[in-house]
């Protein structure tokens, strides 16, 4: 068939999501979902909102914006709702990145960023992380219109100190996006930098820490002028009635989210220690996963496959910096026990 697509779309590959297996019996530690259920207030809010599905939702999702503004100590006008934080990232690239612009980000990081750059047909520049996974200073020389920093980073779980993010944002002429999909498992957030840094956008997700990956809700916090401009490029109703109600209930129940995040941090510390005792080197993680380095790419891939045969899913990335690693989502203590037992079994047979 004739190729009707724009050349950049024809050339590109779409994003590859982690495997969602059918049928039961799997221990799923591959896509960083939360092992605990969302706040009970979420279900109640969805049932109530379902009464009104005949009517369009509020285009801006103002009840959520108000609730989030209260939680984060910002104004309602500084909050933007998204259909997952992937939608927030899409709106940002759609609004700021054209064919003459550069989007830059450290490497390795979340593999959606290059996909978004290709859709926009803008240039993407990847700057290698240093060995300590701090801020790559080369990002300042990219002349980027938009720099995206996943902080904590995926798939490493490492963190760029907030002071470095602030100094970098001051020095950059373009927009800095801090993708905080995992920040509730970390020590500090860049949200408080938004007040002084007018070129900073902080992106948040309800998928991981609020246990709502199936719902699709994310949001951004930034200067009101940036949020205003981003509103112009979103779908008119990018968040629906059920998700606005559910996300509002979830964000109001900070205690529930914090309790689960605390549990996950404790399991993360225990798993890190156990993996180290087994001979893996594990980067210090502030996310709900750890990156465990085996000896080489061959053994990491073999372990990944052997675990999969035992119905345990972790994530393997065929990327030069991490192709000797396994990324393991922090599950419940029972799930982690099952993983460790299977790992011991697999390693003894290799």
Residues at the site binding ligand PLP, with contacts judged by CB under 6 A: 84-86, 110, 150, 154, 179, 181, 205, 207, 213, 218
122-129 contacts at long range (C-beta below 8 A, 24 or more positions apart)? 122/93, 122/97, 122/98, 128/321, 129/153, 129/156, 129/158, 129/321
State the minimum distance, in angstroms, from the CB of residue 207 to ligand PLP: 3
State the minimum distance, in angstroms, from the CB of residue 205 to ligand PLP: 3
State the minimum distance, in angstroms, from the CB of residue 342 to ligand PLP: 25
Three-state SS at 183? helix
> By C-beta, is 179 or 240 nearer to ligand PLP?
179
CA–centroid distance for 287 within its chain: 10
**Rounded CA separation 28/329 (Å):** 8
State the minimum distance, in angstroms, from the CB of residue 289 to ligand PLP: 9
Question: What burial class does residue 1 get, using C-beta atoms within 10 Å of its C-beta: 0-12 exposed, 13-18 middle, 19+ buried?
Answer: exposed
> By C-beta, is 89 or 226 nearer to ligand PLP?
89
State the minimum distance, in angstroms, from the CB of residue 110 to ligand PLP: 4
Token pair belonging to 34: 């939360």
**Rounded CA separation 209/13 (Å):** 29
Give one DSSP letter per residue of 321-346, joined into a string: TTTTEEEEE---HHHHHHHHHHHHHH
The residue with its CB nearest to ligand PLP is 84
> By C-beta, is 246 or 346 nearer to ligand PLP?
246
**Phi and psi torsions of 99, nearest 5°:** -60, -25
> By C-beta, is 46 or 340 nearer to ligand PLP?
46
DSSP annotation of 281: E
* Distance between start and end Cα atoms, the chain: 48
**Rounded CA separation 234/159 (Å):** 30
> By C-beta, is 110 or 304 nearer to ligand PLP?
110
**Rounded CA separation 32/34 (Å):** 6
> By C-beta, is 110 or 168 nearer to ligand PLP?
110
State the minimum distance, in angstroms, from the CB of residue 181 to ligand PLP: 4
State the minimum distance, in angstroms, from the CB of residue 344 to ligand PLP: 29
State the minimum distance, in angstroms, from the CB of residue 323 to ligand PLP: 19
> By C-beta, is 87 or 324 nearer to ligand PLP?
87
> By C-beta, is 84 or 136 nearer to ligand PLP?
84
Question: What burial class does residue 107 get, using C-beta atoms within 10 Å of its C-beta: 0-12 exposed, 13-18 middle, 19+ buried?
Answer: middle
């Amino acid at each position: 068939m004739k190729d009707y697509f724009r050349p950049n779309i024809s050339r590109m590959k779409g994003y590859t999501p982690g495997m969602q297996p059918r049928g039961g019996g799997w221990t799923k530690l591959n896509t960083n979902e939360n092992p605990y259920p969302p706040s009970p207030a979420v279900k109640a809010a969805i049932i109530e909102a379902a009464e009104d599905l005949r009517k369009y939702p509020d285009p801006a999702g103002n009840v959520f914006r108000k609730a989030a503004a209260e939680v984060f100590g910002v104004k309602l006008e500084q909050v933007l709702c998204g259909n997952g934080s992937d939608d927030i990232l899409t709106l940002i690239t759609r609004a700021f990145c054209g064919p003459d612009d550069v989007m830059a980000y450290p490497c390795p990081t979340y593999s959606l960023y290059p996909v978004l750059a290709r859709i926009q047909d803008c240039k993407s520049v990847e700057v290698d992380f240093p060995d300590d996974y701090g801020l790559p200073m080369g990002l300042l020389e990219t002349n980027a219109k938009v720099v995206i920093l996943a902080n904590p980073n995926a798939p490493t779980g490492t963190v760029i100190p907030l002071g470095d993010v602030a100094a970098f944002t001051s020095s950059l002429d373009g927009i800095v996006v801090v993708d905080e999909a995992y920040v509730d498992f970390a020590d500090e957030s860049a949200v408080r930098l938004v007040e002084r840094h007018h070129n900073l956008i902080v992106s948040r997700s309800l998928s991981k820490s609020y246990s709502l990956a199936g719902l699709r809700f994310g949001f951004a916090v930034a200067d009101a002028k940036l949020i205003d401009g981003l509103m112009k490029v979103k779908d008119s109703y990018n968040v629906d009635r059920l998700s606005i109600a559910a996300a509002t209930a979830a964000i109001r129940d900070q205690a529930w989210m914090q309790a689960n995040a605390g549990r996950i941090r404790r399991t993360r510390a225990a798993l890190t220690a156990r993996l180290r005792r087994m001979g893996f080197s594990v980067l210090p993680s502030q996310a709900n996963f750890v990156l465990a380095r085996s000896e080489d790419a061959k053994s990491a891939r073999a372990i990944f496959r052997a675990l999969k045969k035992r119905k345990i899913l972790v994530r393997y990335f065929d990327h030069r910096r991490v192709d000797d690693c396994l990324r393991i989502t922090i599950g419940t203590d029972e799930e982690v026990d099952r993983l460790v037992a299977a790992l011991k079994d697999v390693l003894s047979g290799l």
